[in-house]
Amino acid sequence: MANKSQPDRDGRFGEYGGRFVPETVVFALEELTRAYKVARGEKEFKKRFSDLLRDYVGRPSPLYFAQRFSDKVGADVYLKREDLNHTGAHKINNCLGQALLAMRMGKKRIIAETGAGQHGLATATVCALFGLECVIYMGAKDVQRQAPNVRKIEFLGAKVVPVTSGAQTLKDATNEAMRDWVTNIETTFYIIGSAVGPHPYPMMVRDFQSIIGKEARRQALGRLGTLPDYVVACVGGGSNAIGIMNAFLRDTKVELIGVEAGGYGLSSGMHSASLTKGRPGVLHGSYSYLLFDNEGQVILPHSISAGLDYPGVGPEHSHLRDTGRVVYRSVTDKQALTAFKALSLCEGIIPALESSHALAYLMVGKEFKSRDKNKAGKKRPSVILCLSGRGDKDMDIVEDAQGKV
Amino acid sequence: MTISIAHKFKLLKTSGRKALIPFFTAGYPSLAETEKLALTAVSAGADVLEIGMPFSDPLADGPAIQVSSFEALKSGLKMKDTFSLVERIAGKTGTPIALMGYYNPILAQGISKFVRSAKSAGVSGLIIPDLPPEEAGELRDIARDAQMGLSFLVAPTTGEKRYATIAKASSAFVYAVTVAGVTGARTTFATRTDDYLRSVRKAISKPLVAGFGISDGVTAKKMALRVDGVVVGSAFIDLMRKNTRATARARVGALVEEIRKSIDSLDSGRNS
């Protein structure tokens, strides 16, 4: 499981990944791959990135032992607090890395897609920091359901373009960002927000996010004196998951669990569980698990969490699924809502609805469910859970959903 | 019997004509109407037809083709409907037909099965805008065995080193995207478009067509000067969106005639 060798020169993780893009974009991906290879080997670039992560983002993020939540689920739960990062989620790690790269490449205009608005917010933030022009594509439906983030993005000087095609969510925002990129390719840098898209994005996003796992592994060794039994993270495109799991891939005793959005349930057809229910296909530049019908048309996904409401997934996750190194499960909207409430009440931490999916799995997953809870003499399993973001942005959705129940 | 696209280009070259290739989205505004539009275009002077297979996420396309794809899918169009449409048009006109479509629906069918069905429907070429030659290994093998033509794209951003790769992979014609951008009618092009088309022409001896943004006789003539043919698509869809079906058909016919006249007025010696 030597991750360093992944992806190969063609951007493949096993058979997944690659570059399925319009010809206009090929040169930009080649240019980006070259620039990134040089930058990541440079002391100066690495120092600038890690200085900003420390002083601007507030890293390292704490590893917090959630005592009362642990008692509730019957496992020792350590939360990797990405919610405490500047802008409230893990997204900023990647945005800083890519923005530094954009500036090295002389690109002054930045575009991005966003679902929950966290990636849009993080992108707008780094653009304000570096004085770059910023345009954020966001599905019109998400503009509505994530209104607090839209206001912040605009306040930071970025332009939000509501996308009205298709389902008006993340998939469509990504289509529109790609169209912008094709049109303004020479001046514009596209900061993709998850470990998806054509090569080198899945690799680059993973690398910028892998600080999460590096810290968590070190913190675990320091605090527990050993590695955890489980590492759990939610998976939409999969950037926080690959970010935390990357450091543990070779620790074969650590079980890695990715939690997808089960929406109204896997049999309802209304979910975003591409690894659980999808098949390999091509969307947004890479070959990976995808939700599509018999005609090859992409199925509109559903999740209560805008950040997980995506029909595809990063190609490295597809590879990790097939090799069995990571197991992928799903929880429903309802279960995620229960976990959202539980963590808020047990710990005083309001989690993002995305992260609530990972939390919910600790409450319902078979690895945790059947255990005699808190029985004396029984050793509880230890879990590091990536708390990828905070949930202020989700208050409206949660209140709305509770009203309907 | 329909002739191959490659053969059609040979015939055109002999007669000193440029190819006129109208594009229609299968199933827009309806399947029956697409057939009528295609027949109208052929009688107005089309040499090859490009038929679009709708996809849910057409990320290389501008608003016109996006809308046509969504509408066609909404009406319940299936791939087999596109194939039977092609079969009817090919049977009635003998005009070579290229299918344009994104990669996922092709993968979903299975590449071999797709190419077989396309071939038996009378398709003579494939254009897949999200499949660069580097990712097309399997398709190229299958297409070669089935004698199905393939067209890959060059763009203004393509490095000159890639021209040879793209030309080698293309067995029907090479499709030169005129602008860095999505499909859609335009009235002006950067002056460097001309330089770009010249350099592509110089490097590529296979049949070369230009597309993206060509909307009338004037733009078609400008592009056709440098290449062997032009593709016109969004301009037709814009006409369909603005007019009743009968009116749209008449205007599409008139526009094809206008472009035909315009590119036929080029002195065929000028581009060699």
Contacts of A19 in chain B (CB under 8 A): 132, 134-135
Distance (Å, whole) CA B173 – CA A201:
31
pLDDT, residue A268, reads: 95
CB contact under 8 A, A296 and B104: yes
DSSP-assigned letters across all residues of A282-315: EETEEEEEE-B-TTSPBPPP--SSGGG--SB--H
Question: Is pLDDT at B272 greater than 50 in this prediction?
Answer: no
What is the arithmetic mean of pLDDT over A263-274? 96
Picking from A177, A214, A183, A213, the residue whose alpha carbon sits closest to that of residue A197 is A177
Supply the pTM of this predicted model: 0.95
**How near does any CA of chain A get to the CA of B15, in Å?**
32
What is the arithmetic mean of pLDDT over A293-311? 94
Per-residue pLDDT of A5-20, as tens digits, reads 689 999 999 999 999 9
CB contact under 8 A, B105 and A20: no
Contacts of B157 in chain A (CB under 8 A): 23-28, 185-186
**How near does any CA of chain A get to the CA of B182, in Å?**
6
pLDDT, residue B271, reads: 46
pLDDT, residue A5, reads: 66
Of A10, A23, A178, Cβ closest to residue B59: A178
Per-residue pLDDT of B194-238, as tens digits, reads 999 999 999 999 999 999 999 999 999 999 999 999 999 999 999
Per-residue pLDDT of B110-119, as tens digits, reads 999 999 999 9
Distances B95 to B42, B87, B98, B146 between C-alpha atoms, Å: 8, 11, 10, 19
Mean pLDDT of chain A: 94
Under a CB-based contact definition with an 8 Å cutoff, are residues B23 and B232 in contact? yes
Question: Is pLDDT at A204 greater than 60 in this prediction?
Answer: yes
pLDDT, residue A60, reads: 98
Pairing of strands A76-81, B208-211: unpaired
Under a CB-based contact definition with an 8 Å cutoff, are residues B64 and B241 in contact? yes
pLDDT, residue A1, reads: 38
What is the arithmetic mean of pLDDT over A221-241? 97
**How near does any CA of chain B get to the CA of A20, in Å?**
5
Domains and CATH numbers, chain B: 5-264 (3.20.20.70)
* A334 given a catalytic annotation: no
Mean pLDDT of chain B: 94
Catalytic residue among A82, A113, A215, A316: A113
Binned at pLDDT 50, 70 and 90, residue B191 comes out as confident
Binned at pLDDT 50, 70 and 90, residue B180 comes out as confident
pLDDT, residue A35, reads: 97
Per-residue pLDDT of A126-141, as tens digits, reads 999 999 999 999 999 9
Binned at pLDDT 50, 70 and 90, residue A404 comes out as low
pLDDT, residue B168, reads: 97
Residue pairs spanning A and B at CB distance below 8 A: 113
Over its C-alpha atoms, chain B yields an Rg (Å, rounded) of 17
Per-residue pLDDT of B57-79, as tens digits, reads 999 999 999 999 999 999 999 99
Question: Is pLDDT at A2 greater than 90 in this prediction?
Answer: no
Binned at pLDDT 50, 70 and 90, residue B267 comes out as low
**Tally of helices (H runs) and strands (E runs) in chain A:** 17, 14
pLDDT, residue A238, reads: 97
Q: Where are the beta strands (DSSP E) in A12-119?
A: 12-13, 16-20, 63-65, 76-81, 109-114
Distance (Å, whole) CA A30 – CA A104:
15
Tell which phi-psi region holds residue B94, choosing left (phi > 0), alpha (psi between -120 and 50) or beta.
left
Under a CB-based contact definition with an 8 Å cutoff, are residues A129 and A56 in contact? yes
What is the arithmetic mean of pLDDT over B180-197? 83
User: Burial of A376 by CB count in 10 Å (0-12 exposed, 13-18 middle, 19+ buried)?
Assistant: exposed
CB contact under 8 A, A298 and B56: yes
What is the arithmetic mean of pLDDT over A281-303? 97
Question: Which of A38-52, A367-381, B15-29, B197-211 has the least mean pLDDT?
Answer: A367-381
Mind telling me the catalytic residues of B? Answer: 50, 61
What is the arithmetic mean of pLDDT over A281-301? 97
Distances B153 to A219, A309, A322, B171, B179 between C-alpha atoms, Å: 50, 32, 33, 12, 12
Number of neighbours of residue B32 by Cβ within 10 angstroms: 12
Binned at pLDDT 50, 70 and 90, residue A169 comes out as confident
Question: Which of A7-11, B185-189, B251-255 has the least mean pLDDT?
Answer: B185-189
What is the arithmetic mean of pLDDT over A281-294? 98
Residue B154 pairs in a beta bridge with B176
Distance (Å, whole) CA A405 – CA A352:
20
